[in-house]
Amino acid sequence: MANVVKQVGEYKLGALIIEGKTKQVYDLPSEPEHCVLLSKDRITAGDGVKAHDLKGKSIVSNKTTCKVFEILNSVGIKTSFVRQATENAFVSKKCQMIPIEWVTRRLATGSFLKRHPGVKEGYRFSPVKHETFFKDDANHDPQWSEEQIISAGFELNGLLIGENEVDYMTRVSILVFEVLEKVWQTRNCALIDMKIEFGVDNDGDILVADVIDSDSWRLWPSGDKRLMVDKQVYRNLTTVTQSDLDTVKRNFEWIADQLDHLLPPNDHLVVIIMGSPSDKDHCQKIRKYCEDLGLNVEVRVSSAHKTTQGTLKIVSHYESLNVKVVFIAVAGRSNGLGPVISGNTDFPVINCPPTTKDDVDRDIWSSLNVPSGLGCSTVLYPETAALCAAQSIALSNYVIWARLRSRRLVNYKSLPKADAEFKNK
Ligand SMILES: Nc1ncnc2c1ncn2[C@@H]1O[C@H](COP(=O)(O)OP(=O)(O)O)[C@@H](O)[C@H]1O
Ligand SMILES: [Mg+2]
């Protein structure tokens, strides 16, 4: 028999690695570290007991997954997603998959209520509730404790899944939930609960993998259960007519469409003003920290003491723009700059004077002991100034908020790693 090479778009597929209920995974000979996830026009529920063909479902699912993973990648969460390949396929890092579903819940509903009789639907978890289930269709995906996962001793691409790894995945699951919850808030939708899966790539890195689409979450527009638009609509059907299936598909399309309309808010600016060009190294450090957090930055030079009118003109210029501005004032010796700006604007002003250990005791007071009526704050380190500015902007910008949120997890992961290195010396 002739060898038929299967192709999607410009990608020549290799061997079928695995086929599940909703997609096929193929080798990608041109990119050996990667694979292609090809979605099927198939919807299933109840561990596959209920299943229907649903024309066009693969396209909506793929579109949703690609959009969600792009958001997660862009805010610094490590996922297996590489790029969209065609309308119903995407390229992913090839992983060995951890056979666990990681579930995070904001409100109690569904199976949680059955497992916890007495809890009313809508009970609000704060912090979010986290649960794990072993992927085992034949036994209806039993709930597993952390200890059971550790005891299973999964070893994938050379990585043993132990206590630290389970803890990390738990935290990433919560992070992913909180980020997507913020994303959906911008479309006035409440993310009720969701599940994700993890894989280990060839380098032994743990990545958010598989897919995140309308099979993965419960979403209630306006927080109203009656308006639900996720797969629960399908799960709830006792008989399934073509018109029911059309409704399910229309819902899924609506969700994918909402994600299309997520305009990344880009209406902010951090303005670093230095009193003298001699402060430029300090300002460069602040700029670098800001840019690493994804902030838009402009740097200016103006002295409130020597070019007072110029300083005020600069402030007026930024006030006239239709963007949210945070000023960072950098002035050594007597810091007139930050307090003068603060007295002439209602945008936040952060003083970050370039002090040294020899002059800090003397110079810092000009930033701290400001006249009544001023609301400027004072920090010493360039990184702190950037984080303060980012936190102000994050109040109305989910992308910056998500960057800050995912950064906290990177910090969290670094200490156990250092600890393990010292312990093993
Ligand atoms: N990046 C990846 N690399 C390798 N396998 C993957 C990747 N992402 C998902 N898979 C696997 O693809 C298979 C097919 O997915 P799916 O149809 O959802 O299966 P299931 O019915 O088991 O959930 C699953 O076993 C899943 O773990
Ligand atoms: Mg699956």
Per CATH, the number for 268-396 is 3.40.50.1970
Distance 10 CA to ligand 2 centre (A): 25
**Which percentage of the chain shows pLDDT scores above 70?**
99
Decide if 286 contacts 328 (C-beta within 8 A): yes
Judged against a pLDDT cut of 50, whether residue 185 lies above it is answered with: yes
Q: Is 39 in the pocket of ligand 1 (CB under 6 A)?
A: no
Per-residue model confidence (pLDDT) at position 423 = 86
**Which percentage of the chain shows pLDDT scores above 90?**
92
Q: Is 335 in the pocket of ligand 1 (CB under 6 A)?
A: no
Q: What is the pTM of this model?
A: 0.93
My answer on whether omega of the bond before 32 falls inside 30° of 0, hence cis, is: no
How does strand 16-19 pair with strand 50-53?
A: unpaired
Q: Where in the chain is the domain with CATH 3.30.200.20?
A: 7-92
Nearest residue (by CA) to ligand 1, atom 26, is 210
Distance 199 CA to ligand 1 centre (A): 10
Structure tokens at 168: 């990390």
Instruction: For residue 39, give the ligand nearest its CA.
Output: 1
Q: Where in the chain is the domain with CATH 3.40.50.1970?
A: 268-396
Distance 102 CA to ligand 2 centre (A): 12
Picking from 154, 170, 31, the residue whose alpha carbon sits closest to that of residue 96 is: 154
Picking from 9, 200, 16, the residue whose alpha carbon sits closest to that of residue 93 is: 200
Residue 116 burial (CB count, 10 A): 11
Instruction: For residue 99, give the ligand nearest its CA.
Output: 1
Alpha carbons 320 and 299: distance in angstroms, whole number? 17
**Amino acid code (one letter) for 40:** K
Judged against a pLDDT cut of 60, whether residue 2 lies above it is answered with: no
DSSP secondary structure string for all residues of 242-271? HHHHHHHHHHHHHHHHHHHT-PPP--EEEE
Domain 96-260 listed as CATH 3.30.470.30: no
Distance 21 CA to ligand 2 centre (A): 7
Alpha carbons 274 and 287: distance in angstroms, whole number? 12
Q: Is 108 in the pocket of ligand 1 (CB under 6 A)?
A: no
- The shares of helix, strand and coil residues in the chain, as percent rounded to the nearest 5, are 40, 25, 35
Decide if 190 contacts 184 (C-beta within 8 A): yes
Q: Where in the chain is the domain with CATH 3.30.470.20?
A: 96-260
Ligand 1 atom with least separation from CA of 48: 21
Picking from 214, 215, 220, the residue whose alpha carbon sits closest to that of residue 192 is: 220
Q: Is 61 in the pocket of ligand 1 (CB under 6 A)?
A: no
Picking from 176, 171, 177, the residue whose alpha carbon sits closest to that of residue 106 is: 177
Q: Which residues pair with 104 in a beta bridge?
A: 130, 194
Q: pLDDT tens for residues 386-424? A: 999 999 999 999 999 999 999 998 888 888 778 888 888
Backbone angles phi, psi at 253, to 5 degrees: -65, -40
Q: Which residues pair with 101 in a beta bridge?
A: 133
Judged against a pLDDT cut of 50, whether residue 1 lies above it is answered with: no
Enumerate helices (H) and strands (E) in the chain, giving the number of each. Answer: 13, 23
Distance 194 CA to ligand 2 centre (A): 13
Domain 7-92 listed as CATH 3.40.50.2300: no
